[in-house]
Structure 1
Amino acid sequence: MELLFWISLSGVFYAYLGYPLLLLALTRRAEATIAKPAAERGYAPTVSLIIPVYNGGDVIQQKIANCLALDYPHDRLEVIIVSDGSTDATAALVNQELRPPLRFYELPVRGGKAKALNHGLARASGEVIVFSDVAIRLDRAALQNIVEKFYDPTIGCVSGEDRIAGASGEGLYGRYELFLRHLESRFFSIVGASGSFYAQRRSLCEPFREGAAPDFLSVLHTVEQGFRAISEPSAFGTMTAVRGTADEFNRKVRTLIRGMTALFSKPGLLSLRRYGRFALSLLSHKLMRWLVPFFLLLALGSNLALLDSPFYRLLLALQVVFYLLAAGAAVSYLPLGRTTAGKIALYFTTVNLAILVAWFKYLRGTRQELWSPSRR
């Protein structure tokens, strides 16, 4: 039982701390094997910016204004907005703003994010396809900065960065994820792009599969075709945090089911023999992370069988205090939710509970295609 406890605890440690430390140790040597052609400032291929939207009437005009203000030549840019069967004023509001480089397509029946993206992709003419959510506000230079990375012929996909306003658990976790992406870009390739803002070579784009996370699938397909996917810190946008823990939990479950669907549609990429560094990152960043709630349950259960030792009683007490802190932070009228410790405990617990729910639903055959954008 003692061995099971330490194996479980080691699994949690590796997923969140051990893997970043391993990347730090390996990155310098790995970087020496990656060719880096000189960047060409001002490199401006033709770009198709695709924005899927469902009932985005409260934000679509701000998004259009943001796109039109980007520092990128309008004669090299087309902005394709696809409404996925919206039932609010989205279409009317977009039609009020229509002018070059904007193009608008309205799907009469809601079919899901993959269908909306594929509709836009089939009509895109750019050499580089940029995907962006309606909720993110891009920095003026974000488009130019993300596109310039394609001057390197080994790069097939580039992720922008989401900067989440406020110090919520989502924001803290987001900064941790960005730190990992920076390391993975230097090591070889990121394993997942920002679904809110990322770009891919048109020649590498394939129709999206229903129920699979588009951003994750794009990275997997890019590496499968022999290219790298990287993160670009200077290509960023800002978002507000998700409103409420319930919204965040539901969003996370949907995202996880779609991520599992994407990964298990391409299981060969987990082969260390064939994909080396990328497979190591994929196993560590995704699969090990998705196993953390099982490690946590095993650690708690095995700890209960070791209470004859004062040391293990202390470890059990620390676990219980952590989960009580998360529970206290979830109660809106208690001050714990405003402390950094409370935010971290709540977000960590929420994420891992969401992973458990996602596994349960995925293994029962649930696939998540229709999406309701998180309210921010």
Structure 2
Amino acid sequence: METFLAVCIGLVLYTYIGYGILVWLLVRIRGRRPVLEVDPAFSPEVTLIIPAYNERLCLAEKVANSFAQHYPADKIKFLFVTEGSTDGSSDFLRATYGSRIALLEGTERRGKVAAMNRAMQQVATPIAIFTDANTILNREAVQNLVRHFQDPKVGAVAGEKRILTNDSESAAGSGEGLYWKYESFLKRMDSDLHTIVGAAGELFAVRTDLYEPVETDTILDDFIISLRIAGRGFRVAYEPDAYAMERPSFSIIDEQKRKIRISAGGFQSIVRLSYLLNVFRYGWLTFEYVSHRVMRWAVAPPCLPLIFLANGWLAVREWLNGSAGGYGWTSLFSLQCLFYAAAWLGYRLEKQNLRWKLLFVPFYFTFMNVCALAGLVRYLKGNQSGTWEKVRRAGEVEFKAP
């Protein structure tokens, strides 16, 4: 039991701390990738693809933000995909912007992945860039993404996701921001070592001729698309100076729905990308993929309750045997109880719209892993579809069509 507990603790520590340290050391030993020399003349045509299901409220800001990109105006096209929308999005875009944008619409809602597959059939430019309608890009985003394609070994480029929070935001939103800061650090290390393992759907670019139609029930389309490109021998680069900014989830319930869905998608992705587990064929890609993603979704979450139960059993045995050997297991179990009590308190305060920064880490860490286990249950039940209702974001007001 002691060995079992030690192994489980080691797996969790490696997943959340050890891998970050190891990949940082490997990058220091191997050296960072050379700084990309930008050729001012390199400005290939690109298509900015914006799936927008019932996003009428934020479309005007998104279009203005897209038009404001620092990229040659004759080299960038805009394709909005509004199929299935019932809030007047299509009529608004058509009446307001006319031929300045391309519009792909339809009465049937078939989901984001089906919309993306359909949109890619319309793209004639060598580079396609995906971005969400509810995010705002920095003005250099397109330019900074595209420059990486000067390297023929780069098949896709991922931008950075940033969460905009203020002092009155929920603990979930603040935790989400901390999570993405750490995630951005890991992506920088992954990219310097070999390739990143999964783009964020808020902003990523691909070579059009490398895009493969994705199964329409896919939950994490961005992850599947980028990993399949990496599996074909191309690098997926990371560009932190191309970033998409969005607000955190409106409430802990909204964030919970989002996290469970992502976790269910993680297990779906592990099954569909099982061939990437062959380290003899994929080498560094397999190492990064397993360490950064597979263990985060499929190993660490189930280890946590096992650690708690095993530690509890050892603590009881320690008490029954007396204090001759000390109370090390009891002390560790007490610390676990304090940690989860802090997480529970953070959850209770969040339900009452109260915040205490000291509780962010235990709360969000526990929250993520509970959602991962719930995602596993949902995936095993097979009741997750490729379409879903978007979560509310902080500061968001519902738009009602006239």
TM-score for the superposition, normalised by structure 1: 0.95
Q: Is the Cα contact below 8 Å between 1:78 and 1:100 reproduced in 2?
A: no
The 1-side partners of 2:34 and 2:258 are apart by 38
- Residue 362 of structure 2 corresponds to which residue in structure 1? 345
The 1-side partners of 2:270 and 2:82 are apart by 27
Deviation, 1:141, is 0.7
Deviation, 1:217, is 1.1
Deviation, 1:319, is 1.2
| Cα distance, 1:348–1:336 mapped onto 2, change above 3 Å | farther
- Residue 201 of structure 2 corresponds to which residue in structure 1? 195
Query: What amino acid is aligned across from residue 88 of structure 2 in structure 1?
Result: A
Of residues 322, 331, 339, the one that matches 2:339 is 322
| Cα distance, 1:138–1:44 mapped onto 2, change above 3 Å | same
Q: How does 1:1-376 map to 2 (within 5 A)?
A: 1-31=1-31, 38-41=37-40, 43-166=42-165, 168-212=174-218, 213-290=220-297, 291-307=299-315, 308=318, 310-332=327-349, 338-376=355-393
The 1-side partners of 2:155 and 2:100 are apart by 25
Deviation, 1:35, is 7.6
Deviation, 1:187, is 0.5
Deviation, 1:372, is 2.2
Gaps in structure 2 of 5+ consecutive residues: 166-172, 319-325, 394-402
Identity %: 33
Deviation, 1:38, is 3.4
The 2-side partners of 1:14 and 1:232 are apart by 26
Residues 166-175 or 337-346, more deviating = 337-346
Larger Rg: 2
The 1-side partners of 2:76 and 2:141 are apart by 14
Residues 272-281 or 333-342, more deviating = 333-342
Query: What amino acid is aligned across from residue 256 of structure 2 in structure 1?
Result: F
Q: Is the Cα contact below 8 Å between 1:27 and 1:187 reproduced in 2?
A: yes
The 2-side partners of 1:162 and 1:340 are apart by 22
| Cα distance, 1:29–1:292 mapped onto 2, change above 3 Å | same
**3-state SS in 1 of match to 2:123:** coil
**3-state SS in 2 of match to 1:304:** helix
Deviation, 1:29, is 4.0
Q: For this pair of structures, how many residues does the alignment match?
A: 375
Q: Is the Cα contact below 8 Å between 1:217 and 1:263 reproduced in 2?
A: no
The 1-side partners of 2:134 and 2:235 are apart by 27
The 2-side partners of 1:371 and 1:251 are apart by 10
Deviation, 1:298, is 0.8
Residues 309-318 or 228-237, more deviating = 309-318
Deviation, 1:335, is 8.9
- Show CA shifts across 1:82-120 (max 9, x none): 113112122222223224441111121111111111121
The 2-side partners of 1:319 and 1:20 are apart by 23
**3-state SS in 1 of match to 2:42:** coil
| Cα distance, 1:310–1:195 mapped onto 2, change above 3 Å | same
| Cα distance, 1:99–1:69 mapped onto 2, change above 3 Å | farther
